[in-house]
Amino acid sequence: MVCLQNDFIKVWIKPKGAELKSLVNKKTGVEYLWDANPRYWGKSSPVLFPIVGALKDNMYTFDGQTYDLPRHGFARDMMFTVESKSETQAIFLLKSDVETKKVYPFEFEFRLIYAVEKNKLTTTYEVKNVGAGEMYFSVGGHPAFAVPLQPEHLYTDYYLEFNFDSDPKKWLLNEAGLLNGEQQAVFLDHGKLPLTKELFKDDALVFKGLGSDQIAIRNQKNETALLFNFKDFPFFGIWAAKDAPFVCLEPWCGVADDVDHDQDLKNKEGINKLGVGESFERAWSVEVS
């Protein structure tokens, strides 16, 4: 694995999926990332590309052709090349090839750029269209953070704190992971959402146009916390597996299909389009204390 560090934090990234595997506060020794225990969920921070969420019937059409893609796409299971590496930054690269074009007919360069500065880790997604026509894609993150962060704490000692104090509405998913068109209010107490195992009994909390662009994971016992910043991501998910000791904070540029979607990729909600030679960039960051 690739290691980045400074005087404050140390991170490990696995080239398969360019997946973040560890985020440690060097001053306190606290590990903030979920350890990918397969008993609950065997991932720690998969990247979602070239789709986010589920497709209707796990397929889509483009220019009259039909393609199959599983939920969240293929990048999380592919080997990235380490394009460059320093003590505090690494760039991982995935290029389209014969295999990707069987399920996704676009030529692309997809980079994940990890950088540490003081107590902050920044993850940047860079997508470039290197083909001869327009390119359509979604991209997003799925980092899972350990809850509780310390063994003497309980899951219910923790809460999420939104920086925009308003009650957002979540969009509901059906059993296939598709948006069913229904909404429900999520009630915050002065911007705080208590973490409970029951919160995710009906799958992820999916938000569109969330007013907040920062969510903190805090607890009632001490000052150990995590600040998650995600400006310019139009969709956001919060999820945990059944009874699992973690919570995922998921910034998305894309979202699952609606149950009534016509399955044409060009008409997909939240889809991003790049012209020939154009690039797209978004970043999220984590600050630990």
Report the percentage of the chain scoring pLDDT > 90.
99
Report the percentage of the chain scoring pLDDT > 70.
100
Given a cut of 90, whether residue 165 has pLDDT beyond it is: no
Average pLDDT, the chain: 97
- pLDDT at position 100, please? 98
Q: What would the pLDDT profile of 12-26 be if each residue is shown by its tens digit?
A: 999 999 999 999 999
Given a cut of 90, whether residue 168 has pLDDT beyond it is: yes
- pLDDT at position 27, please? 95
- pLDDT at position 21, please? 98
User: What residues have CB less than 8 Å from 158, skipping those under 6 apart?
Assistant: 147, 148, 149, 194, 195, 217, 218, 219, 220, 247
163's tokens: 């920086």
100's tokens: 């990707």
- Any idea what DSSP says for residue 95? E
- The domains found in the chain, sorted by start residue, are 2-288 (2.70.98.10)
Q: Residue 230's closest CA among 122, 146, 158?
A: 122
Query: Looking at residues 218-225, what average pLDDT do you find?
Result: 95
Rounded Cα gap, residues 169 and 183, in angstroms: 6
- pLDDT at position 267, please? 97
- pLDDT at position 97, please? 97
Residue with tokens 């990048």: 75
Query: Looking at residues 174-182, what average pLDDT do you find?
Result: 96
Exposure of 124 by Cβ count < 10 A (0-12 exposed, 13-18 middle, 19+ buried)? middle
Beta carbons of 19 and 43 less than 8 angstroms apart: yes
- The beta strands (E) that lie in 107-204 are given as 108-117, 120-129, 135-137, 139-141, 144-146, 158-162, 169-173, 179-185, 192-194
Query: Looking at residues 88-117, what average pLDDT do you find?
Result: 98
Rounded Cα gap, residues 178 and 167, in angstroms: 23
Q: What would the pLDDT profile of 184-219 be if each residue is shown by its tens digit?
A: 999 999 999 999 999 999 899 999 999 999 999 999
